[in-house]
């Protein structure tokens, strides 16, 4: 069998090419799709920043008096 990517001669039952490391066949099962969007962490970040700002304001107010 010949590797589809680099053309190296490989064994018939090989799962990957020993030279380029690419799979010799397409995957039988599709990889799972992530349910999280790319903006999934933004609300947590906003809450964290607000908490830090409030804590700094309280600390400043207590130090002032």
Domain count, the chain: 1
Q: Which of 4-8, 29-33, 54-58, 61-65 is modeled with the greatest confidence?
A: 54-58
Any domain includes 33: no
pLDDT at position 8: 93
Any domain includes 35: no
3-state secondary structure of 65: coil
pLDDT at position 28: 80
pLDDT at position 27: 75
Domain that holds residue 18: 1-27
The per-residue pLDDT for range 20-59, each reduced to its tens digit, is 999 988 878 877 887 765 555 678 889 999 999 999 999 9
Any domain includes 11: yes
Give 23's strand partners.
16
pLDDT at position 17: 93
């Amino acid at each position: 069998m010949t590797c589809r990517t680099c053309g190296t001669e490989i064994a018939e039952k090989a799962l990957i090419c020993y030279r380029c490391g690419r799979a010799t066949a397409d995957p039988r099962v599709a990889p799972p799709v992530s349910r999280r969007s790319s903006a999934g962490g933004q609300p947590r970040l906003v809450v964290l920043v607000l908490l830090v700002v409030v804590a700094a304001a309280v600390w400043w107010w207590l130090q002032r008096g």
